[in-house]
Structures are given as C-alpha cells and as structure tokens.
Structure 1
Amino acid sequence: MSSVTALSTAPVERRERALAALAEKPDGVVEAIAAKAEVTPAEVLAILPKGAATTADVSEFEAIWTEMSGWGEILFIVHTDDIVLEATGSLPAGSEGHGWFNIHGDSPIGGHIRKDNCAGITFVDRAFHGRRSCSVWFMNAKGSAMFKVFVKRDEARELVAEQLVKFEALRDRYAGA
C-alpha cells in the first residue's frame, strides 16, 4: 500500500476503532474509550448518537461561560492521563487579561484559562454508567477536553432539575447552528 493510500484510509480506520470501542462500553468514560481505540476524545464525541453531542463555535466561549455562571453549584472536572480533578462550586464570572481568561470569586473554582487554546465547545448529553449525564466540554486543538462543566446531581443522584433545564436551553441554542 502506498503512503497516500495509507493516509487516506487512516481516518476511516480511526473511526472504525472508535465505533468498536464505543459499542463495547457505550456509557463508559469517553477518555477510556478513546484510549482503547487510540483516538482522541473529540473523535469519540463526534460518533456519539444523534443529539448526544452538540457543538458550539469557540467564539461563543464567553457567552457560554457567562450563562453557566448563573447555574449555581456545578461539578468542574479536569481529566488528564494523570488525574481526574473534580471541584464543586459555582462558576465565577471571567474576564480576559494578559492572554488568559481569568476567573476569581467566592468559589473553590478559580484560576486562569488559556482561552486561545480552546478549539471548540461540545454539549454532551449521554448515559454514563447507566445514568443520564449532561456536561459542557471545552476542547483543545489536540482533541482533548481542557475542562468540563457538569450538571450537578442531588442527594438522590438525580440531575438537579433547574440546572438541567438551563443546560438544555443553552445546548438547544446551538443545536441548529
């Protein structure tokens, strides 16, 4: 096989591996599915069933962040190969300065985000270990999540209804885009 043929079939093979890994564990951790298939998490999100992943352009970063800052207490996750860091709190308002999107406020969630590294935003609504899970993924150009914002669960492990309504309304703004 020539190198040109190998290059042209590589995306198909990647997609097939991703589909097989997803079929094996459709409600599993996206990063684990991606690792098993040797693809990126973005490639897994792209093959989720219709309606499970809705994308928004990166130009909507601040508008989406601002909207989510009114959701109340959320679950903020940073997932790398080395750690899955979970923080619960409200999203503080953010502002740009010195090349960063800076977040500070009365919340355990704070710091500085390299907003220019964000290549896209994906609203994810899918089963996770048998339960509905709703989150907003801020994706980098490498195909991984910079961070994720999840609709919080209540004491009964159900999605907080008020937040779920806000998530669905925000996602639906971008569903036809």
Structure 2
Amino acid sequence: MIAERETLKSLSDRLLDARRDLKAKPDGVLEELARTHSLSMSDVLALLPASEAVEAKGVAFERVWAELAEWGEILFLIHNAHGVFEIRTALARGSWGHGYFNLAGGAALGGHLRGDACRSIWLVDRALFGRRSCSVQFLDAAGEVMFKVFVRRDAARELDREQCAKFEAFRQSL
C-alpha cells in the first residue's frame, strides 16, 4: 500500500523523501528504501555520498568479475522481494560463450550469467545495521540489482582485512 501511494508522487518528491529517510536511518536496508518510495536501486544508490558508493559502467563486467575471482571466498547474495539468498564461495573466473558469461571450475556457484544485461556496477562501502559493509552490486537496465558480492567476514563477524584492502584498492582504480 505504501508503494502504491508513493507512485502517485513525482520522482523528485520520492527522491526527496528517500533522501530524508536515508538521513534518518543511514544504515538501513537500501532495498526497503527503494520499495517504500517506488524507486529503483540505481536511484537509491545514487543518493549515497561518493564516499559510500562509486559507480562503474556495465561494460566493466568482465574486468570486475575477474578481480572478484581473485579474492578467494566471498559472499554472493541475491536479494529480491521473496528473500535473501547467500552463498559463501570463491568465484570461478568465467568465460563468454553462447551469449552467456559461463561459470565453471568447481566453485559452489556455477551457471550462466547474462553479463551483457549488466548496465552498472556499484562499489558500496557503508554501514548496514551498525557495521561496515563492503559490496559490489551488479545492476540491470531497469536499475535493479542482479546480484551482489560482499567482502567476507571472519568468525568474529569483522570484515576480512585482506579482502577489504583489495576492495578499497579496486574501488580507487575505477
């Protein structure tokens, strides 16, 4: 019902309302903010300060994936209206064939991605529920998240320092 009322507002009003809510709860779930204000995730990510979110074009898909494949075990996440699905795994390097970016090589995550559907990639470094969180988010042409890759956490739930350093360096290189 909230989302239905929000769609009656102009985009600029919805963005203003979302910015206000983000300021009030800066460590909240961005997907909830997008849903509440009938915005795309791209719209919401663009509201974050440059210190928290850096955007790369989707044409960098293969380069970004190759970088992530060098990080070791990560957290691969799909968040949609029906749930949040997580896989802790290393990423296979992948290669193009038959119109797909194909994952093989014995990792827990295998399959065939529509890498060409990726229009933007966001490197996000922000608090989530009071803890620093670092993710790489792949978005489609509609501005919705295809999937995310998170810097892993150790047994104490702290970000892995080595992976965090790789994330920060890669983010600076974009």
* Aligned pairs (5 A) from 1:55-74: 55-74=55-74
Q: 2:105 and 2:18 mapped to 1: Cα distance?
A: 40
Is the contact made by 2:59 and 2:119 (CA closer than 8 Å) also made in structure 1?
Answer: no
Q: What's the CA shift string for 1:33-89, capped at 9, x where partnerless?
A: 111122111111101123111011111111111011010100000111112110000
The one-letter code of the counterpart of 1:138 is F
Q: Which runs of 5+ in 2 are unaligned?
A: 1-8
Cα RMSD for the two superposed structures? 1.2
The TM-score, its normalising length taken from structure 1, stands at: 0.90
The TM-score, its normalising length taken from structure 2, stands at: 0.91
Residue of structure 2 equivalent to 1:132 = 132
The one-letter code of the counterpart of 2:136 is V
Q: 1:88 and 1:127 mapped to 2: Cα distance?
A: 21
- The alpha carbon displacement at 1:21 in A equals 2.5
Q: 1:113 and 1:153 mapped to 2: Cα distance?
A: 25
Q: 1:11 and 1:99 mapped to 2: Cα distance?
A: 35
Q: 1:28 and 1:109 mapped to 2: Cα distance?
A: 28
Say yes or no: does 1:49 pair with 2:49.
yes
Residue of structure 1 equivalent to 2:10 = 10
* Aligned pairs (5 A) from 1:27-176: 27-174=27-174
SS at match of 2:109: coil
Is the contact made by 2:58 and 2:118 (CA closer than 8 Å) also made in structure 1?
Answer: yes
Is the contact made by 1:22 and 1:44 (CA closer than 8 Å) also made in structure 2?
Answer: no
Q: 1:73 and 1:132 mapped to 2: Cα distance?
A: 18
Q: 2:50 and 2:171 mapped to 1: Cα distance?
A: 14
Q: 1:11 and 1:34 mapped to 2: Cα distance?
A: 12
The one-letter code of the counterpart of 1:125 is D
Runs of 4+ in 1 over 6 A off after TM superposition: none
The one-letter code of the counterpart of 2:149 is V
Q: Which runs of 5+ in 1 are unaligned?
A: 1-8
